[in-house]
Structure 1
């Protein structure tokens, strides 16, 4: 018996990526990468800047090993500011407060607090950022106003209220900039989501349009082929010439269907490219009448087909095509009427047959009427379809003569 083995690389799509292949997983579920480069730059700036700042503050405690360890700790905490923003905000504030309370020179150590709180606000941890900044300011005010006598450096003088107000202003400025960045980031996220949703909606609409086009083309052509094939089989022995005519009609109908299907699918192969042939419209109504005649259906056209915008022209043609296809499929009548009427700015397109319904199926999907209603609704029109009192069937389409394409 062959030994059963675990799923190999070809089965990762079923079981999920292996734990060691972090790049293959969902980006949202993976922890954020450590920001090494920016943290190294900040660390170098804080250490070098504090060294130079110490020369201008001889009254403060000189930098020693403990001071450099505190500066290094405050900077290296920023490595985890994306993974644990709240904890890093409190950590940098605490380390900075210890550094200042020890009497070491003021300098760029406060940059670590600003960066950590900025990251926390942008990540959505607003309360943690505000609380850490508030604690740092309160601790600094406590040291500068009351505890400076008990803490190094010796002989240090207390700060005034004005100085603490300036510090508070800087704290508020940091919070304001962080909030502005957060709002802008959320706005960008909403815009990206809206663009993605709009692209998905356009793709869905395009798929629906292609499906509707394919349904209309194939339903009509296959119905003609079905009728002619039945006729050819029935006359193959008794009237070979008529059977030949039926086969010729089948060839012409299938060739036209293949051409229209190719035209529709060309939009999938080359998005945005111009179609190789113009979209069908009411100008091809005589061809449609000839195809119906080849299927044994006589069509009378009453009224003059109007000149419509391309979208409305295509919709009107497909409605007539689908209505005649339904007559061929489901009606015992071999006569249909297509009538064009005008009522103000509306076109009333009416297709009648005398019935009765045969109940026969020709492989249709049953979506023909729904497709016609969707086409009409897309133009701001309506479709009414149902049996007539005298036993026939009527399709009445009311379409606007002027659509948004004319504007």
Structure 2
């Protein structure tokens, strides 16, 4: 599907993609846009120009500074808007006079990506981080207790998607820096209070909820995807020393609550349909409420993590994949609401770390360094300056995730999910 808005061959934003985001420029406040090639298409301008008037929905949802109102309208509305945009933007469009050849509207509606500032796409009421990565669970079990199986450490892991409730107020958009957190943790025979010494990243994939459910009314597994607005990359920054000390009794708290980074563009489910695969198989018998009619409920999308140090040199950290899960988002949502929990528009739901089976596919330093005992050598990209060793992250390190899936219809990417570690305040 070629577009008359031409892009670079490696662009993340083909006509197959059309992700939603919130952007601003020096001349305009935050508003809804769609990425196409090297441009942002301003949906507020199109809505005010009457482009969607015949689609039978409340177009004021596209005049807001967040995506919540539009996401709450449901998949049927979003699909119609997506189809309208594809019709307007495709190279052989029959509606050239509406946008392509309407130079006044086109000049107002198309903005160069390089000139915009991206914002957190949704107001997030709640954030739930699951733990459904197969290889991450197995490796962490062995690190915590060598020789132990994941069943011994977590008997329910294969039978249900387990999770913890995270801190929504510290979810930030890509390029927002974070401070190294303070906390308590053991050092040798004592417990100290001070800046984290074992700061880590976690490669994750996440979805935003579109339409929620009423309290006490579970969402069925085969209708759960109708409640997904779209997908983002996510970095669940982790203070491992703080986390390990506090989580022995109650689970994650300050070790996880200081920052979580998401990519700025929300990729719609239709864009990812060509990349569907089955979740990883495990020996288990699931209860009926988790049994899906379709086996192709996960996605095959490679995610690369890179490290940039203070001098600007970058290093390859890991290559992960969204297919390293044993439960789908539909199963996560079905289980999340099973007991009556109400999800709301803008809720963020994440997979947990998406590690592969090998060290170079591990999605966090905890795994790559065997709990900090074996420093990991990262390979320099396009440089002869040599490689770099890391046990955990240092101040002024920048971690960036990128992901791009390529299909017959074009590239589907997310932009970058990036953040730099500042010294502890």
Choose between structure 1 and 2: higher helix proportion.
1
TM-score, normalised by the number of residues in structure 1: 0.18
